[in-house]
Amino acid sequence: MDNATSVGAQVKPSLSVSRDRSKTGFWLVVLGAALWGVDPLFRLILLKSMTSAQIVLLEHVIIALCVGPTLWKNRRELLGVKWKQIGALLFISWGGSALATILFTNGLANGNANAVLLLQKLQPLFAIIMARFILKERLPRYFSLLFLIALGGTYLLTFGFNIPLGHWSEFVQIGSLLSLGAAALWGGSTVMGRMMVGQMKYETVTALRFILALPLLMAITWNEGAAWTLPTEAGPLSLLSINLLGQALLPGLLSLLVYYKGLTTTKASVATLAELSFPMVGVLLNWIAFQQMVTVAQICGFVLIWLALFVISRQSESSPA
């Protein structure tokens, strides 16, 4: 066997492994984002007893206690961290974890739910722009068309076949502006997270996301000065505790561990489309928990989003991230 043949034999298995990892990573991002779909189910219940800042602070305290040992185990990764990496970590923790979550929670409390959820679908625009300038990523083929298809699917999930001409004023109210700010911060966090998982273990990035956000959240909660109106009876307090733990561990910790694991082999510009699995889970939860039947328009929305995800996934097979 000549040298060229030998090199070719070694390269092909390596490319195959890279493609498999890229495909698996893409669907891990889909799964992690899908777990976010249960977030409003817990958060809307908690808003009855606490403010947005209080909910986010307690959520981060619970998760920080869970991930603290992992950060201590991987503490050597923090040696030699540069200013660029510190800036990225602060953007992820302060922006994407603390401020964006508070903005989104406030948006749910003060705005039209449909407007808030639809504006979250603008998150990919922020991520794509930042990925092009910061990570120098090349977009997949037909990316613009696939993005429009996926965005059309999210519109159908939210509004159906109706055109809400009489409700556009709701998009410029305070709840919608808060939601738009959250979308921008989460889109930027996708890009910063993709940069960091290439330099640290995904468990370390997840731990730092929550731990670094604690000082800022404590300052925001203290400055807010709101009273802690927790229920005094055992039954309601137990229910509140269960909701808080569920919120912190399921759409909080578990979703981000899965998400960052997938992000290690997935481009930020591709991952941001995978995150559109979130609205589909929201529709299923409305059907199961609140007996809201799935309409024909919503089924069409499901099909459009998954069509875009499927095509992106097939491209990931043939072109590793």
Domain residue spans of the chain: 25-318
Query: Which is higher by pLDDT, 15 or 279?
Result: 279
Overall residue count recorded for the chain in this entry:
321
- With a CB cutoff of 8 Å and minimum separation 6, the contacts of 88 are 192, 195, 196
pLDDT in tens, 49-84: 888 899 999 999 999 999 999 999 999 999 888 999
Confidence of residue 124 (pLDDT cuts 50, 70, 90): confident
Q: Of 15-19, 96-100, 205-209, 264-268, give the lowest mean pLDDT range.
A: 15-19
- With a CB cutoff of 8 Å and minimum separation 6, the contacts of 17 are none
Cα–Cα distance between 181 and 195 in angstroms, integer? 22
Confidence of residue 321 (pLDDT cuts 50, 70, 90): very low
Find out whether 37 and 284 touch, Cβ atoms under 8 Å.
yes
Cα–Cα distance between 241 and 268 in angstroms, integer? 35
- With a CB cutoff of 8 Å and minimum separation 6, the contacts of 202 are 257, 260, 261, 263, 264
- With a CB cutoff of 8 Å and minimum separation 6, the contacts of 301 are 152, 153, 154, 155, 156, 157, 279, 280, 283
Find out whether 117 and 281 touch, Cβ atoms under 8 Å.
no
Confidence of residue 233 (pLDDT cuts 50, 70, 90): low
Residue 219's pLDDT is 95
- Percentage of the chain lying above the pLDDT 90 cut: 21
123 CA to centre of own chain: 10
Find out whether 207 and 196 touch, Cβ atoms under 8 Å.
no
pLDDT in tens, 158-210: 677 876 655 555 555 677 788 889 989 988 998 999 889 888 998 999 999 99
Among 277, 253, 267, 144, smallest CA distance to 197 is for: 267
Secondary structure letter of residue 173 according to DSSP: S
CA distances from 311 to 19, 29, 30, 154, 318 (A): 14, 15, 14, 17, 11
Q: Is the pLDDT of residue 282 over 80?
A: no
